[in-house]
Chains A and B, each alone.
Chain A
Amino acid sequence: EAGVAQSPRYKIIEKRQSVAFWCNPISGHATLYWYQQILGQGPKLLIQFQNNGVVDDSQLPKDRFSAERLKGVDSTLKIQPAKLEDSAVYLCASSLMVSGISYEQYFGPGTRLTVT
C-alpha cells in the first residue's frame, strides 16, 4: 500500500513570497490533515478535511494560509505572503473514517520550509 505522498520535500523562499505544498493521501482515506511542526515542537493541526469539506480550521492563520481539497482526494496548502516564523515542516496525514470516527493517522514525510 502506497503511503502519503508530499511534494516538494524542501523549499526555501524569501519572506513575503508565496509557496504551495501538495499532498496525496492513502487511497480510500476520507480524512486529511495538515500539520505544522516547528523545530523542537510537536505537530500542530492547521486544518482537517473530511472528504472535500473542512472539519476544523481553528488554528489556520487565515490571513495568509489557505488550503483546499477540491475533489476529496489530494490537497494543497498555500502560504501568501510568507513570514520568517512560517519556517517549519509541514506534514500531511490521512486516516480512514468508520462510523464517524477517524482512526490511525498515517503521516507523509513532510515539506521542510525555510523562509529567509
Chain B
Amino acid sequence: QKEVEQDPGPLSVPEGAIVSLNCTYSNSAFQYFMWYRQYSRKGPELLMYTYSSGNKEDGRFTAQVDKSSKYISLFIRDSQPSDSATYLCAMRETSYDKVIFGPGTSLSVIP
C-alpha cells in the first residue's frame, strides 16, 4: 500500500462546477496536511495548509481533514478555467520535516 494515494484523473468539469479532490493515507503520524497546485511545466505552489483534523476555508477553496478515516479533501467552488492544473496533496509528521506527496489529480475546467 502506498503511503499517500490520489485518484489521478483526469477530471474534467464545466466552468462554475464544484470540484472535490481527495487523498487517502496510511501513516497515522501525519499531522500537517497541504494541497499544492502545479501548472504544466511549473513547480508546485502551496494552496492550503492545515494542522490536524477540521476544515479550513480560503476564498473559493476549502480543505477538510478527517484523521479518523485518514482522508483529506479539497473543494473548489465556482471553478474557473484558470483552476486547470494538477493538484497534489502532501503531508508530514509533526516532528519530522519530510513532506510526502501524493501522485496528483489532473483537473480541467472547461469554459
Do the beta carbons of B45 and A43 come within 8 Å of each other?
A: no
A61 at the interface (CB under 8 A from B): no
- What chain A residues lie within 8 Å of B102 (beta carbons)? 42
- What chain B residues lie within 8 Å of A43 (beta carbons)? 44, 88, 101
**In the complex, A41→B42 CA distance in Å?**
14
- What chain A residues lie within 8 Å of B43 (beta carbons)? 4, 91, 93, 107-110
Q: Which range holds the interface residue count of chain A? A: 20 to 34
- If A41-B103, A42-B104 touch, whether A104 touches B98 (CB-CB below 8 Å) is no
Interface residues of B in 67-111 (CB under 8 A from A): 88, 90, 97-99, 101-104
- What chain A residues lie within 8 Å of B97 (beta carbons)? 31, 48, 55-56, 101-102
A-B CB proximity, top 7 nearest = A107-B43, A42-B101, A42-B103, A102-B97, A43-B101, A41-B103, A107-B44
Interface residues of B in 1-18 (CB under 8 A from A): 4, 8
> 8 new A-B pairs (CB below 8 Å) besides A42-B103, A91-B43?
A44-B101, A45-B98, A56-B97, A93-B43, A104-B49, A107-B44, A108-B43, A112-B41
Shortest Cβ distance from residue A62 to the other chain B in the assembled complex, whole angstroms: 18
Name the CB-closest residue of B to A91: B43
Q: Residues of A at under 8 Å CB distance from B? A: 4, 31, 40-45, 48, 55-56, 91, 93, 101-102, 104-105, 107-110, 112
**In the complex, A60→B45 CA distance in Å?**
23
* Residue in B49, B98, B103 whose CB lies within 8 Å of A48: B98
B29 at the interface (CB under 8 A from A): no
**In the complex, A108→B88 CA distance in Å?**
16
Do the beta carbons of A42 and B90 come within 8 Å of each other?
A: yes
**In the complex, A22→B80 CA distance in Å?**
35
- What chain A residues lie within 8 Å of B46 (beta carbons)? 104-105
- What chain A residues lie within 8 Å of B99 (beta carbons)? 45, 105
Shortest Cβ distance from residue A106 to the other chain B in the assembled complex, whole angstroms: 8
Name the CB-closest residue of B to A6: B43
Name which of A48, A56, A93, A107 has the most chain B CB atoms within 10 A of its CB.
A107
**In the complex, A55→B49 CA distance in Å?**
23
